[in-house]
Structure 1
Amino acid sequence: MSQPHAPTSNKASSALGDRPQEIGYILVPGFALLSFASACEPFRAANQLAGRVLYRLRYFGEAEGRVVSSSGAEIPAEELPCGRGSLHTVFVCAGGEPNAWNRPAIHAALRRLARLGVRIGGISGGPYLMAAAGLLVDRAFTIHWEHAGATIEAFPQARLTRARYVADPDRLTCGGGVAPLDMAHTLIAERMGTAFARRVSDWFLHTAVSAADDPQRASTAERYGVHHPALLIVLETMEKTVEAPLGRQAMARLAAVSERHLDRLFLDKQGLSFSAQYRAIRLAHGRRLLRQSPLRIGEIATACGFSSAAHFSRSYRSHFGCSPSAER
């Protein structure tokens, strides 16, 4: 990334918050490097554009040393903080699979910092650790869409949303990827004003800043490559009803078409029957749960709308070429 132009005079910026704001990042091994960079680079850029230190960044691990990211890059880290010190906000950054996120030391550190008044945030899989630490009870939050199913299974009462990020006065959660750029824009604007935050985003060629509640994924039409209104209604409903699948008659009624016409739409547009498409969506959900959750195979079968573990296993082997236990 090229360096920004020399800082220009910004009286509004200098009048707001002269004291540097300290932001920490707790890195879980395998953290997503892009998500981490998107969450910290805007604050570094803000310092350079302002010509003074607005934000101090610190990096923490379970022990002092280097924490390895998803791509193999290593970030030098301090040991987890014992006290608040000057910390204003601390983000926990996690990637990979939820079955690797049982991190008691990090859970304890998050609870301790929250009690001390530090604003706690989670990036990508980080909100899962916040939930495990008990910091998201009765709170709306978000997480990377890939981990949504495992999060709901682990925390059935979770108020999970599919937003890009959720910003509360003392909690921040973000879906990861490039969404932290949107969140950082909001946080910088809160402190330094919208005009200054716009300069930071422009430096990263981030010209279209998304709103907090914008979707994380492409639309159903884009993901499936279809545009027929009835087919879109049915596909969206299929994704929402994996645990309790609806019958063909109910789906046809929702789409305001006949069952026969619904079958023709799937064969013509998707190259699959109604049943095969529904089963593929449910099995894909099962695959994510096998990889990401500690649920037993029988529990996963139920969560995917199969009548028994044996039925799930037969369907899984036929679809993916291996058994659920082999996948796990």
Structure 2
Amino acid sequence: MSQFNQGAQPLSRVPQSIGFLLLDNFTLISLASAVEPLRMANQLSGKELYRWHTLSHNGLPVSASDGLHITPDTNLADSPLLDAVIVCGGVNIQQSVNREHIQWLQSQARYGAQLGAVCTGSWALAKAGLLDGFDCSVHWECLASMQESFPRAGVSTRLFSIDRNRHTSSGGTAPMDMMLHVIGREHGRELAAAISEMFIYERIRNEQDHQRVPLKHMLGTNQPKLQEIVALMEANLEEPIDLDQLALFVDVSRRQLERLFQKYLHCSPSRYYLKLRLIRARQLLKQTCMSIIELASVCGFVSTPHFSKCYREYFGIPPRDERAGHQGGNVLGVLPMPEDLMRPSTSSAMAALTRAQGESTFASVRL
């Protein structure tokens, strides 16, 4: 038995056969992030744990979003028996999914194959009715349209979601986190960790980590005041600005401020501000050696007990247990941090606003 298989749950079928369905304009980085962990799992274990096949609906080359053409192994009609199917989406996903894709995916579901997707590929599964009642992830550019078009699917901002036999991931390198999680569950954490080391992938993120969704994408260009307020919040985490001052800085009333947050971010300004500070605290907790006391102060909490209470209520685990259980492990994406956290004076706050207006603003807060 390989040293990496010890403690893993036995598999009913080895090697597992995985099909990667390539849609037009799929993102190559997402495909590579999903395939390469499988290759390395075979290499490091000394066994063929996985084999994979690329497919297109007609077997002809498929163009990735970067212009490279990939010649698939086969077409849908001639596909081999598959244990799992992963749909690889990318740009213009709505135009890339056709009737043949839908029918084939539905047939794979009837045969009992596990179904998954990377980047925007979840759209295809949802279009086929295969994500109804399942939690799922998708690239943030497709998030709003999926939530609108497929209300029965539990679409979230998580990097990846594993719900029963549905494995879905957002784009970029997030598929690697998903595949490492699956490999670790099936063949042991040691193998997943070894794969991560081979790819110089320092931290394996988990299902609790979320995408950074640009606030401008969520709100469009119609809410500049709200974007300015959030930019000020992000620039002033150590000493939070009073909500009345925030309203004054962007020339709105306190009542207008409350209405903007409730309408577009579905929470109160104070709650949103608190969660920004908690997310920053979690990043520092996992990425630095700062003490809990220092973390509480840097993130604007008046006392360590208050910080620990808020952290536990939001993340479901005390900060000390988080650090003890995940040291060097999973980490959230880093929100923009200014060189020095500004004081809540009128002049410094306006300086922070001026600087922040040129930066991306994020709203990846679970509300």
- TM-score by shorter chain over 0.5: yes
In structure 1, C-alpha distance between the alignment counterparts of 2:114 and 2:53, rounded to whole Å: 15
Q: CA RMSD in A?
A: 3.8
Q: Which residue does 2:269 correspond to in 1?
A: 254
**What is the deviation of 1:215?**
1.2
Q: Which residue does 2:236 correspond to in 1?
A: 228
Contact 1:63 1:78 (8 Å CA) reproduced = no
**What is the deviation of 1:115?**
0.7
The structure showing larger relative contact order (alpha-carbon pairs under 8 Å, at least 6 residues apart) is 2
Contact 1:84 1:118 (8 Å CA) reproduced = no
**What is the deviation of 1:231?**
6.8
Contact 1:144 1:175 (8 Å CA) reproduced = yes
The answer on 1:12 being equivalent to 2:27 is no
Q: Indicate the larger mover: 224-233 or 165-174.
A: 224-233
In structure 1, C-alpha distance between the alignment counterparts of 2:172 and 2:148, rounded to whole Å: 23
Q: Tell me: CA distance 1:31–1:149, structure 2 relative to 1, closer, same or farther (3 Å).
A: same
Structure 2 residue aligned with 1:40, among 35, 43, 49? 35
SS at match of 1:205: coil
In structure 1, C-alpha distance between the alignment counterparts of 2:111 and 2:141, rounded to whole Å: 32
SS at match of 1:92: strand
**What is the deviation of 1:9?**
5.7
After superposition, residues 49-60 of structure 1 pair within 5 angstroms as 49-60=44-55
- The one-character-per-residue Cα deviations of 1:197-232 (angstroms, maximum 9, x if unpaired) are 1111111111210011201117989x9583325579
Percent identity (aligned)? 26
Where do 5+ consecutive residues of structure 2 fail to align?
216-226, 245-254, 262-267, 274-343, 362-367
Contact 1:42 1:184 (8 Å CA) reproduced = yes
In structure 2, C-alpha distance between the alignment counterparts of 1:80 and 1:132, rounded to whole Å: 20
Q: Tell me: CA distance 1:233–1:146, structure 2 relative to 1, closer, same or farther (3 Å).
A: farther
Contact 1:182 1:210 (8 Å CA) reproduced = yes
In structure 2, C-alpha distance between the alignment counterparts of 1:107 and 1:262, rounded to whole Å: 57
Q: Tell me: CA distance 1:265–1:136, structure 2 relative to 1, closer, same or farther (3 Å).
A: farther
Runs of 4+ in 1 over 6 A off after TM superposition: 218-221, 231-234, 261-266
Q: Which residue does 1:269 correspond to in 2?
A: 352
**Structure-1-length-normalised TM-score:** 0.67
In structure 2, C-alpha distance between the alignment counterparts of 1:120 and 1:49, rounded to whole Å: 26
SS at match of 2:235: coil
In structure 2, C-alpha distance between the alignment counterparts of 1:232 and 1:187, rounded to whole Å: 45
**Structure-2-length-normalised TM-score:** 0.60
Q: Tell me: CA distance 1:92–1:265, structure 2 relative to 1, closer, same or farther (3 Å).
A: farther
- The one-character-per-residue Cα deviations of 1:139-189 (angstroms, maximum 9, x if unpaired) are 211101111112122223432111111112311110121111111111111
**What is the deviation of 1:52?**
2.2
Q: Which residue does 2:88 correspond to in 1?
A: 93
Structure 2 residue aligned with 1:168, among 154, 163, 168? 163
Amino acid at match of 2:123: Y
**What is the deviation of 1:233?**
8.8
The answer on 1:65 being equivalent to 2:74 is no
Contact 1:13 1:50 (8 Å CA) reproduced = no
Q: Size of the alignment, in residue pairs? A: 255
Where do 5+ consecutive residues of structure 1 fail to align?
1-7, 235-245, 282-328
Contact 1:66 1:76 (8 Å CA) reproduced = yes
SS at match of 2:105: helix
Amino acid at match of 2:172: G
In structure 1, C-alpha distance between the alignment counterparts of 2:7 and 2:259, rounded to whole Å: 58
Structure 1 residue aligned with 2:191, among 191, 196, 214? 196
In structure 1, C-alpha distance between the alignment counterparts of 2:58 and 2:168, rounded to whole Å: 24
SS at match of 1:122: strand
**What is the deviation of 1:85?**
4.6
